[in-house]
A and B are shown apart, each in its own frame.
Chain A
Amino acid sequence: MIEIANENHVIMVDDNDGDVFLVEQCFLDSKLDNPWKSFQNGGDFLRYLEDVRRGSAPMPALVLLDLNMPGLDGLDVLERTRRNPEFAELPVFCMLTSSWDPRDKARAEALGASGFVTKSDNPRDYVAFFDSLQ
């Protein structure tokens, strides 16, 4: 059972601002009280990770990574993240749409995904997820 790593940011990487806002609301409703951060694309997130490496930003507590993004997609981001040994243990949960392809899931696992969250239309599911990390 994965637990939240520290008290730093919970980060969501997703190009869909509707999803980001929704999950943020659910996060705020949940028992976790970490700060929240979000990035609209993989490139921005990876640049943030550079800052973390240099020490100018704190190590994130949890990353929610949408797999289905234009440009640099979730799997690319995951791969590059895991290239750095520093981020080997970083909890990265890949977000799957309800029409997920088993092949994508398999690849994500192979690249080191810590777990999966299926995008739900029921906010309760997200709240329950965050609660379970405590």
Chain B
Amino acid sequence: MTASAEVLLVACPSAYARALPPDAHAVEIPDWREPPERVAEPELVIVGPLEPKPTHAAQQLASRHPGCGLLLVTEPGRVPEISAQLALTPFVPLGTRVVAEPQVEEAVREVLLRARLQRSHARLTDRARDALDAPTPADGGRGGPVSGREPRADVGSDALLELHHSYKTRELLFSSVFESSQDAIYSATMQGTITSWNRAAERLYGYSAGEAIGCHIGLLLPEEQRDAQNRLMASLAEGETTGTLEGIHRTRGGGHVEVSATVSLIRDGRGSPSGTCTIARDLGPRLREARAKTAMLDGALDAIVAMDHRGNVVEYNQAAEEIFGFSAQEALGRSVADLIVPPELREAHRTALARYLETREASILGRRLELTAVRRGGERFPVEASIVRLAGTEPPLFTAFLRDTTELEKARRQLERTIEDLEHSNQDLEQFAYVASHDLQEPLRMVVSYMELFHREYGASLDERGEQFLRHAVDGSRRMKALVDDLLAYSRIESRGTPFEWCSSGRILEGVLHDLALLVEETGARITCAPDLPCIRADASQIEHVFQNLVTNAIKFRGERPPHISIGALRTNGAWEFVVEDDGIGFDESEAGRMFQMFQRLHERSRFEGSGIGLTFAKRIVERHGGRIWAESKPGEGTRFHFTIPVAAGDPPGGDDPEGSDDPEDGDDPEGGRS
């Protein structure tokens, strides 16, 4: 024997120390959880009856002191039970014995001997191996110096070495699998006492290994699960090797966790069941994901229906239930064609699916479709849909997103009808305005002409009062005629408007100023035009009206001094904005709205002539062109009129001057004959 053996006595009564062989050096510790400061590698560890969880202690101690012998001492009545548990406990070395107190002495000797034997053989074989690998000495390696024994000669030590090796490997393998697994793994006896408990189980259930081992497995099962568990155990006993249960397990502190637990039978060397091993997986994350997905699908307003390659419904959300009238239960597994496709289109649907499966091509995937679907009861209704094939699925899965557009269609048709009605109404109004003014002209003309005639023929015989009467009558009818003429022209802005063409606003303005030359001279008005007035796409004569109206107004509504008027244009988003600015009497901007209404006047009639339709006219013309007109002003501080004409796409022909010029340097020879 070698030097004195270290024996670690854990939770043993002090009497055991005396039972040890004289050469054994005993180190006593009451609790394995509190290891002593220094223990050389013990040859033997004895776990005494004072340890409440002997198998767990054994496991921990064995892993702490690999290679040591192990002995458990317990009450006589518990020996079989503890033995059975021990058989299922990892790390516990072969040959670990469980005895009752009276057999301690004997067991110690046996275990010590075996342990020493194992150890020495291990050391011997290591040395033998080293010798094998070392360079051969001068005598050729025969009768080597170390032990005088050929390493291969001893079959017994080899077999022991093999056993030792394979055990160690298995143990390492098992321990790494056991502890590193993400799933909870725990074993129990046939009666249900937990004998091992990995780290994942600690995390899942909240009990440490120390707490769980030795407890009954029922700790983990709520009432509802116990029946299922019992049935599973029964089937295992009858010959099944594994079974899986999904359900709720209890965790520390009354919590719950959803698990999928696979229970396997463990048999001992003779093949009888000795216990169970359970692998429990937390379903929580997967279930949460599934629940989140369902919540998302059910929150959608559109029906979401998934179809497999056989044409059957595999997904069906809440909106689908409402839209189609079939519950998910009724729909799942049924053929999409039979359920929601109108009868006359079912063949086409099946054909398209078949063709896709063959060619992997379908024109209807991934774009907006307008289809007809049927609900429960056969009612047909319009849907807007898009169908995609779920990437990466093989065989393919398809998802359709469907929107019931019945209401939308109704609204659309309603809108079309309203637009039609409005167009008719507009036409009617235009016609009315036209007819009214046209038919009013003639009688008016009669009144005016005859009053003129009367004046010619009988004017001489009228006295001053008579003259006045006549003059007022003529005046009134003249004004009425002007109104009717204006009304007529107004009603014709659309109907008599010519198609838009490129025209130079600068030229149009020139023309207007030319026409107003007399008025300009009379009033001493100074008019400035910006040099860069743009080319626009418009009805030139109508734009002429607008300029005429605005410039005339600017001159008309002047202050005491001769008016200054400036006209320019600037480019704003998508439009040309023309500005006609004067320094005249201005007006209160809050009245601006009235200004554009028909026949409204902002100033007293006697001061300013005009029927008051001018601005309404201008507004309608500008709006016909797609623009806006507005005014800014302050009383006494002049006025700025703005109107916009949208910029048209493309360029005006001939650069900035679409109407050409008389410049002889132009390409064409004005004398005829082309250059």
Contact = CB atoms under 8 A, between A and B. Distances in A.
Interface of A: 16, 18-19, 22, 25-26, 29, 97-99, 119-124
Contacts of B441: 97-99
Given A97-B442, A123-B452, 14 more contacts: A16-B442, A18-B446, A22-B449, A25-B453, A25-B457, A29-B456, A98-B441, A98-B485, A120-B445, A121-B444, A121-B445, A121-B449, A122-B449, A123-B449
B456 A99 contact: no
B280 interface: no
B119 interface: no
Contacts of B442: 16, 97
Contact of B452 (A97, A99, A121): A121
Contacts of B249: none
Contacts of A19: 446
B512 interface: no
Interface in B444-495: 444-446, 448-450, 452-453, 456-457, 481, 485, 488
A120 B438 contact: no
Interface residues on B, range: 10 to 19
7 contacts: A18-B446, A25-B453, A97-B442, A121-B448, A122-B448, A122-B452, A123-B453
A121 B453 contact: no
Nearest to A18: B446
A123 B488 contact: no
Nearest to B488: A99
A61 B445 CA distance: 27
Contacts of B437: 99
Contacts of A97: 441-442, 445
B456 A123 contact: yes
A130 to B, nearest CB: 15
B475 to A, nearest CB: 13
Interface string B425-438: 00000000000011
A120 B449 CA distance: 7
Nearest to A26: B453
Interface string B403-436: 0000000000000000000000000000000000
Nearest to A23: B449
Interface in B587-614: none
B495 to A, nearest CB: 11
Nearest to A68: B442
Interface in B4-26: none
Contacts of A123: 449, 452-453, 456
Interface string B482-525: 00010010000000000000000000000000000000000000
Contacts of A22: 446, 449-450, 453
Contacts of B485: 98-99
Q: From A22, A29, A98, A121, name the one whose CB has the most chain B CB atoms within 10 angstroms.
A: A121
Nearest to A119: B445
A121 B449 CA distance: 4
A19 B449 CA distance: 9
Nearest to B437: A99
A121 B481 contact: yes
Contacts of A25: 453, 457
A123 B453 CA distance: 6
Nearest to A102: B496
A25 B458 CA distance: 13
B201 to A, nearest CB: 99
B445 A98 contact: yes
Contacts of B457: 25
A99 B452 CA distance: 21
Nearest to B447: A121
Contacts of B450: 18, 22
B541 to A, nearest CB: 12
A57 B430 CA distance: 47
Contacts of A18: 446, 450
Contacts of A99: 437-438, 441, 485, 488
Contacts of A121: 444-445, 448-449, 452, 481
Interface in B41-97: none
B484 to A, nearest CB: 9
B174 to A, nearest CB: 106
A122 B445 CA distance: 9
Contacts of B446: 18-19, 22
B5 to A, nearest CB: 132
Contacts of A119: 445
A16 B450 CA distance: 14
A112 to B, nearest CB: 26
B493 to A, nearest CB: 14
A9 B85 CA distance: 145
